[in-house]
Structure 1
């Protein structure tokens, strides 16, 4: 019996190339089609997958370890791999061993060699900063003279400076530094500085990445490729970061253009860099100006959709695109690079360029596009993945696509092991794997129910989303519920923006009128993309929280299993939509729709039940978290929570089943409201506002949202009151607000002798003992010139009403927590000298987000078991400072930070402190 091919599998000999030319990359497509006509299927080539995974693991470990560890691991893995390869060669020559045994042993040897190569590459990166003394200079946190090159376009920092002025960050490459403890070396002798002039100090060459923090008005004058030299204060970064330091200019005009320092690179290189930087600047400025007359959100979106420039996007649009799962459209991603390279290939085919020459020219065009956008590591990564997708689609070698992906991953990790710890690389690799393994087969299914113009983009979005969701969960703490439908609608519009928009951008400096017309036309699909993003973000549960604990872990495992089963089913071939027939004429019968034919095909094919369950499980896992009863429940038995409100402070101390005392509220009202809603806090007994900085009072309106607030107590400078802030005037209308003084004490929560009633039953059901909170104001200065020094310092004592009086947590031995606001070093030192701070607490809220100017005196005089730091991820201040982290480590204190752990939950009971994150367990 011969199985008839469905229309989408018609061969070239029957209907030409048209049906095949629009298919997605399919590494097993030829094999599947061959099996349907009686030939054996060729499975996808997974032989390089173990090597890629081992290399990724080695890179993950070594970039976060020391140079010695990386060298040891690299030598071990490389040595074992080389030994295995040598043994294999001898065995192959001496005896005719089983071919499969030799292949398996070769596979293991390749894994070892790949892991060793990546580890040795990481060792070289570490050695550049350790051997040269750069690491020592950064840890010292003292001003150091550097020479650097700006390698990334300046962008606005997440937070303004202490004076409220805007700041910008730019990627830089440090080429040399001067440090008193650094001895001269062979490259730069003592007595000669980086500019070839006489000097009395030692210079050292170092080639390492850093982030430059500048005032916004200064950053506007920077050009990519520009060389600067001057005095900066380096602040250390986290292990694994590509940038080894955050550099803050030390004083006004501390950094100046470097003269004569490019001689060692050649004047030709200097002129080329300056020439290309000028082209980039003119194209960007021309694109922004030419996009100004476009419709809707297009003026903000076009520069990002074409050149990855999101500087003109407002916060509301950026947040909407994030919630809709469409952020990747507004930066240069692999999709953009694939479209650009595909456009070059298509144009060269029209010109009848030879295949190999066309491929080389298209690659050259992609390189120039990357240089035009920003040759940052993330863009280079996107270009590699995008080129892979375009080559898989147009080269005709679809079966080798997955092997090519593994080769690309290996090459990128050997070139720069830091890619392993970057979420963008993880997402790109997962999405590309999903498209290669399942994209074409999903497209085959969708073509039966959707028009061809929608089936391709829908298959791209679905196949990518299937694979990236497990990666996104730990990054976002939730699921972007409408990402798939939003991307299905928006993806077909992207080519009509990126490809013609790129030509318009290139013309904008030369023929601005023509470029303006082209970008005006591109503005309509760009505006539609913005509209889709805003509407998707406004839908209920746009970002659905993922359940905690075992429930969340079980769902992740179930989801991964479902995706694996679904992928296996897709790769082994889906059934035809037509039933199997014998030779001879077909009997007429009632016609059925494409959806009905697809379902019947699945049922008649004898497809295993587990494959259908895999489909249902995968789709259920995508939407279940937003509906799951435990997804938004409060952590059981919580006592204290440090809310994740970005670069700000918000501390919640539980005083009852649904009541709490709150210290500060961060800067954003919605973040404060989200945290209290997650904790199911309905009543705020007392809200403390420690001082007058917005990152402590800006979210007060969110605390008030839908809750009963009994009182607001504030500190800060003598001439400040919260009611003077315009955004708080309405929020505080019906709430008692007063300044609190030193020594004031009070209690919050239900007295232990009160009959439990319904509240007591609920408390026992939630794991909360009948608790009360006692607090005392230790410091409440008003007259320091620095507002931070006028912060309230409040000591909390948490009493478990059901605990024995003398037991841990009982009335005679309560848990103690000290909240220190933004108290800085001088005021803290004076308080210690006058006995103004307790000697020991169980939990310490570290002052000023762990800034260096908070000093270490408080950490040394007030010991604690646990330290909490409220700090924004990738903040531009370098918080928490290495000196603070070092002091806490030396004191043996367990440190938890909101930038690393999210919201931090403490359970105080039974003589120990349990810590977990609002999203996952804290290591």
Structure 2
């Protein structure tokens, strides 16, 4: 029997860490009452179940203690001089130590470097404060050149933070170095650089994947390869995970044993290896979390490892949450814990069932990734809105290459510190291993049903949890016999490789489909059998091509690119692929240049000439009547403009089809919306394509006057822009409009039903 007392206490610590910050927002009295209530419940439960009294009391105390720690942590971050100055949007001078590597983020109108830092001194409103509190820094490219661990001085304006983990957001000027990083950071940077140098001569994707496996740095990976890893359930390879640590420290232990180290010496090597890994991969919360889960994995390799690892998992969760309560809401932490628990709970019975008719190494190779993937599936579906059907097979295929690629990548860095050619030899062999991993990811992602959409509502997720639980229970019984086990594997393989028809898709008589293309727009207006007007093409050629294939669109008499931002134009090659394209309308503002170039090259290859959408013109194409409402002929035709200018130059179309009136608005901003108000006054709209993915920059009063029955918002799951904004969605719903969004509903089709707009989601 499994001893689940420590894991149960870990769950209690997690519950306490979730409620602690909420309670503290109501005051210290609320925290005290929570603790008292938890103790009373625990003692009462212990009295009712006498033999379990100690466990019940310990659980109650754990919940209460964790809640108090989390609450105090949140109060320390949100109740200090930096947070107070941020609430007043104060201009300040700060001295801070940089604690994370740079990450480039794109805002509404500019690109920034995002760093996290620990403030040591802040001067604002005539007062100087000395303290230690975390902040998020947004700055220009100069911030990307600051090494991790450097102490800098800078000026900037503070903004309030929505997170319990940072006191404020600092919009910073250029930094001035006050003190360089410590010796351990310099050594870490030297080794990280050596790892990259060892593979720099290899193809870009291979050279980028090796550092991702060794130390979690995936900055060099191409977007399309990251998408393929996401689709095939291999994203855990691109971030620091417990697997990384288990491989690296496991390798060090093997070397130590070969060198004659025994007993406590091995424990010392293990501890030093874990600490070295944390420094190499950075001391961010995600790395510390991965180190803890990796240590649990190492425990599982010892005698009576499963029991020890389960207890270790519970202890690791408790320790991590008491040190950093913010991990309670971290998706990475959740997935790490679930994957580790899945391997420990499901893996052994599945392995034992398979071992009855196959070698143990093969049984373990199948059981471990399958158990981890099954445990994580509901959370992954809640985040991404999809379930990967190739993840288990993909993880099984890449597993033999992950360990040698990781160890050889590390050796390439270590050897390179001594002699560059020797480092390049190890690095080259490591890239041969990752070439196989890349091939599996690309092949798996290309399969027609690599991932299927899954609704993210409570009922749908509850069904998925029930399905996963049933699989976990039934799998050992099915896998025990070679016939049923092989049959189950063949069914999974067939599901992954053969396209399954979507029941009822597309619905009969559809008028408009908003394709699920992630964070971007791609709309299809039906004009006849196999024929449609395509308005925007999203950011990914494969996604829009797949959507049009499912709609059986072969003829595109008119394509419209509302403006030249990447999330509307970069998928145009897929929209045109294998289809006859007639006319091509675009925004009058030829900006940004990269989008203009992408469209120009694709249009030339398709033999069409892009022309500005003719303002005021109404044209009939098959079943659809289309009028160009915006931009006017007075709009500037040359860039550059800022992001808002390009958005406001979006082509806006009024479409009438089968008695329905559709307003397709591109990314038009409030200024442009105001200009359209007179043209649309008194006109009822059946279907509104919400401007700019439902961002907060809206003229809500104007949107309400449209009285749309249905509003469509095309957004990517967990996007960085906060789209759609809560205020926008609520404003539309309060006016009686039903809002649909692709991150939750998948592709959305509009049909005419009794003179009104009805919706079918995929």
Classify the TM-score, shorter chain: 0.7 to 0.9
Quickly say closer, same or farther: Cα 1:864–1:374, change in 2 above 3 A: farther
Aligned residue-pair number: 751
CA distance in 1, matches of 2:740, 2:81: 30
**1:307 offset after TM fit, Å?**
1.8
Contact 1:228 1:258 in 2 (8 A): yes
Quickly say closer, same or farther: Cα 1:716–1:235, change in 2 above 3 A: farther
**1:369 offset after TM fit, Å?**
0.8
- 1:672 is aligned, of 544, 559, 578, to 544
Secondary structure of the residue aligned to 1:688 is strand
Contact 1:236 1:882 in 2 (8 A): no
In the alignment, structure 1 residue 192 sits paired with structure 2 residue 127: yes
CA distance in 2, matches of 1:406, 1:365: 22
- 1:745 is aligned, of 609, 618, 634, to 618
Could you give the per-residue CA deviations for residues 311-334 of structure 1, whole angstroms, max 9, x where no partner exists?
233344434444443332343221
Quickly say closer, same or farther: Cα 1:863–1:52, change in 2 above 3 A: farther
Q: More deviation in 629-638 or 75-84?
A: 629-638
Contact 1:782 1:790 in 2 (8 A): no
Quickly say closer, same or farther: Cα 1:622–1:732, change in 2 above 3 A: closer
Higher strand share: 2
Contact 2:42 2:59 in 1 (8 A): no
- 2:217 is aligned, of 297, 300, 309, to 309
**1:389 offset after TM fit, Å?**
0.9
CA distance in 2, matches of 1:244, 1:913: 46
Quickly say closer, same or farther: Cα 1:107–1:190, change in 2 above 3 A: same
CA distance in 1, matches of 2:598, 2:252: 59
2:469 is matched with which residue? 560
2:648 is matched with which residue? 789
Contact 1:640 1:907 in 2 (8 A): yes
**Alpha carbon RMSD of aligned pairs, Å?**
4.7
Q: Structure 2: give runs of 5+ residues left out of the alignment.
A: none
Contact 2:447 2:497 in 1 (8 A): no
CA distance in 1, matches of 2:208, 2:716: 26
- 2:4 is aligned, of 46, 53, 70, to 46
Higher helix share: 2
Quickly say closer, same or farther: Cα 1:726–1:774, change in 2 above 3 A: closer
1:37 is matched with which residue? none
- 2:25 is aligned, of 55, 68, 80, to 68
Bigger-Rg structure (1/2): 1
Contact 2:647 2:669 in 1 (8 A): yes
In the alignment, structure 1 residue 207 sits paired with structure 2 residue 66: no
Quickly say closer, same or farther: Cα 1:461–1:320, change in 2 above 3 A: same
**1:393 offset after TM fit, Å?**
1.1
Secondary structure of the residue aligned to 2:663 is strand
Matches within 5 A, 1:816-855: 816-829=661-674, 841=685, 843-849=687-693
2:568 is matched with which residue? 696
CA distance in 1, matches of 2:552, 2:216: 40
1:26 is matched with which residue? none
Matches within 5 A, 1:795-806: 795-797=654-656, 799-800=658-659
Quickly say closer, same or farther: Cα 1:883–1:911, change in 2 above 3 A: same
CA distance in 2, matches of 1:819, 1:340: 53
Could you give the per-residue CA deviations for residues 888-917 of structure 1, whole angstroms, max 9, x where no partner exists?
799787766555665556667569877786
2:276 is matched with which residue? 368
Contact 2:538 2:544 in 1 (8 A): yes
In the alignment, structure 1 residue 79 sits paired with structure 2 residue 36: yes
1:256 is matched with which residue? 175
1:780 is matched with which residue? 632
Quickly say closer, same or farther: Cα 1:828–1:539, change in 2 above 3 A: closer
- 1:277 is aligned, of 181, 185, 188, to 185
**1:733 offset after TM fit, Å?**
1.9
CA distance in 1, matches of 2:119, 2:682: 47
1:584 is matched with which residue? none
CA distance in 2, matches of 1:649, 1:444: 49
Secondary structure of the residue aligned to 1:394 is coil
- 2:152 is aligned, of 215, 222, 227, to 227
In the alignment, structure 1 residue 170 sits paired with structure 2 residue 117: no
Secondary structure of the residue aligned to 1:696 is helix
CA distance in 2, matches of 1:336, 1:882: 38
2:285 is matched with which residue? 377
1:264 is matched with which residue? none
CA distance in 1, matches of 2:61, 2:211: 43
Question: Scaled by the length of structure 1, what TM-score is found?
Answer: 0.68
Q: Structure 1: give runs of 5+ residues left out of the alignment.
A: 1-42, 92-96, 179-187, 197-204, 260-269, 576-597, 601-611, 751-771, 801-813, 919-923
Quickly say closer, same or farther: Cα 1:141–1:711, change in 2 above 3 A: farther
CA distance in 2, matches of 1:154, 1:388: 30
CA distance in 2, matches of 1:877, 1:132: 28
Question: Scaled by the length of structure 2, what TM-score is found?
Answer: 0.81
**1:727 offset after TM fit, Å?**
2.7
Contact 2:389 2:492 in 1 (8 A): no
Quickly say closer, same or farther: Cα 1:88–1:50, change in 2 above 3 A: closer
Quickly say closer, same or farther: Cα 1:331–1:847, change in 2 above 3 A: same
Contact 1:779 1:794 in 2 (8 A): no
Secondary structure of the residue aligned to 2:563 is coil
CA distance in 2, matches of 1:123, 1:911: 54
Secondary structure of the residue aligned to 1:783 is coil
2:602 is matched with which residue? 728
- 1:715 is aligned, of 587, 611, 622, to 587
Quickly say closer, same or farther: Cα 1:478–1:828, change in 2 above 3 A: closer
- 2:75 is aligned, of 127, 134, 141, to 127
Secondary structure of the residue aligned to 2:35 is helix
Contact 1:746 1:774 in 2 (8 A): yes
Matches within 5 A, 1:484-563: 484-538=392-446, 541-543=449-451, 557-563=466-472
Quickly say closer, same or farther: Cα 1:529–1:639, change in 2 above 3 A: same
CA distance in 1, matches of 2:403, 2:416: 19
**1:373 offset after TM fit, Å?**
1.0
CA distance in 2, matches of 1:414, 1:441: 32
